[in-house]
């Protein structure tokens, strides 16, 4: 039987340790090595991913689901992003290397943590506590997305408060969408690809310096609209009658929980 209190504590412990490492240790080492810009971001995110791999292995032990069945529709969708990069290349954009790098560095460690570990672990734990499958998915998506948004408080070190709050709100909504993508696809590859697509397209459009400076104009209306769009799409996807492949994989690896999300033992 799952020890809910113990696994919840270990999940919180992992998130807190990772936050402290990113906030203090990695940033201090980065400053001591006097590396900034793209090199600094590469160092920071690489350290973050390595620490997450170790923390998950030793603390939470959450299975990360990568496998998926290839189909013609998936291939078509995957070809869209290279097409976008090609269009910007033809247009003479100088932001392509930065866009690709930022996309990878942002998507991989963040999706590994917030969807791969946090969302999946919450789905597993709430399945024991709740007999309502849809409620389980909604609550898990909200909480993991809230943690995803709160992570961006770190950006206050180099961004204005207003921009950071707007960023957190939009990030929460985006996190809901990514949670829905992981639930439906059952593979962490897809939320990583969606995350990569958004980050890279932003860099392609505005450039690395402007995107990372927090100097963009903050629009309250745009923030509300984006939050509403992300949330409505994600909730619609989650509540859709089609199967949620991630839940099937979690139930298969969870003792005492059947595919209806009900405790059997």
Tokens, residue 142:
């909200």
pLDDT tens figures, 39-69 = 999 999 999 999 999 999 999 999 999 999 9
Angle at CA of residue 188, ends 68 and 50, nearest 5°: 130
169: left (phi over 0), alpha (psi -120 to 50) or beta: alpha
pLDDT tens figures, 120-163 = 999 999 987 788 889 999 999 999 999 999 988 877 766 778 78
Q: For tokens 């917030």, name the residue.
A: 114
Q: What are phi and psi of 241, to 5 degrees?
A: -70, -20
Is 197 within the bounds of a domain? yes
Is 112 within the bounds of a domain? yes
Is 143 within the bounds of a domain? yes
Is 77 within the bounds of a domain? yes
Q: For tokens 């620490």, name the residue.
A: 51
Is 174 within the bounds of a domain? yes
Distance between CA atoms of residues 187 and 146, nearest Å:
21
Average pLDDT in the 112-117 region? 98
Q: What are phi and psi of 257, to 5 degrees?
A: -130, 125
The pLDDT, as a whole number, for residue 195 is 97
Lowest-pLDDT range of 136-150, 181-195, 251-265: 251-265
Q: For tokens 């936050």, name the residue.
A: 19
pLDDT tens figures, 207-249 = 877 776 655 566 788 889 999 999 999 999 999 878 889 998 9
Chain length of the chain: 265
Confidence of residue 261 (pLDDT cuts 50, 70, 90): very low
Contact (Cβ atoms closer than 8 angstroms) between residue 85 and residue 186: no
Tokens, residue 132:
């309502």
Is 29 within the bounds of a domain? no
Is 23 within the bounds of a domain? no
Tokens, residue 133:
């499958």
Contact (Cβ atoms closer than 8 angstroms) between residue 244 and residue 183: yes
Total count of domains within the chain:
1
Identify which has the larger pLDDT, 60 or 27. 60
Contact (Cβ atoms closer than 8 angstroms) between residue 100 and residue 199: no
Which element (helix H / strand E) includes 122? Answer: helix 120-129
Q: At 263, is the secondary structure helix, strand, or coil? A: strand
Angle at CA of residue 259, ends 257 and 260, nearest 5°: 90
The pLDDT, as a whole number, for residue 255 is 54
Q: For tokens 């292995």, name the residue.
A: 57
The pLDDT, as a whole number, for residue 211 is 72
Average pLDDT in the 58-83 region? 92
Q: At 257, is the secondary structure helix, strand, or coil? A: strand
Angle at CA of residue 42, ends 39 and 47, nearest 5°: 130
Is 150 within the bounds of a domain? yes
For residue 138, give its domain range. Answer: 68-252
Cβ atoms within 10 Å, residue 4: 13
């Amino acid at each position: 039987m799952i020890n809910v209190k113990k696994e919840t504590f270990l999940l919180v412990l992992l998130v807190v340790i990772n936050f402290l490492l990113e906030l203090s240790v990695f940033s201090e080492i980065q400053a001591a090595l006097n590396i900034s810009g793209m090199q600094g971001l590469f160092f920071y995110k690489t350290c973050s991913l390595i620490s997450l791999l170790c923390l998950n292995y030793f603390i939470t032990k959450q299975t990360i689901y990568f496998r998926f069945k290839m189909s013609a529709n998936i291939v078509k969708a995957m070809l869209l992003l290279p097409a976008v990069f090609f269009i910007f290349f033809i247009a003479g954009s100088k932001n392509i290397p930065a866009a690709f790098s930022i996309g990878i560095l942002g998507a991989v460690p963040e999706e590994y943590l917030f969807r791969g570990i946090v969302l999946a672990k919450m789905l597993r734990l709430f399945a024991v506590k709740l007999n309502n499958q849809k409620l389980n998915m909604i609550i898990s998506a909200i909480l993991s997305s809230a943690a995803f948004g709160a992570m961006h408080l770190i950006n206050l070190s180099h961004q204005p408060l207003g921009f950071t709050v707007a960023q957190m709100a939009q990030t929460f909504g985006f996190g809901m969408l990514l949670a829905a993508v992981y639930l439906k696809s059952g593979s962490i590859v897809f939320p990583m690809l969606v995350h990569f697509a958004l980050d890279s397209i932003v860099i392609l459009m505005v450039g690395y310096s402007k995107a990372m400076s927090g100097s963009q104009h903050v629009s309250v209306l745009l923030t509300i609209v984006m939050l509403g769009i992300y949330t409505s799409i994600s909730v619609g996807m989650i509540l859709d009658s089609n199967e949620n492949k991630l839940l099937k994989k979690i139930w298969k690896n969870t003792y005492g929980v059947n595919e209806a999300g009900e405790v059997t033992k």
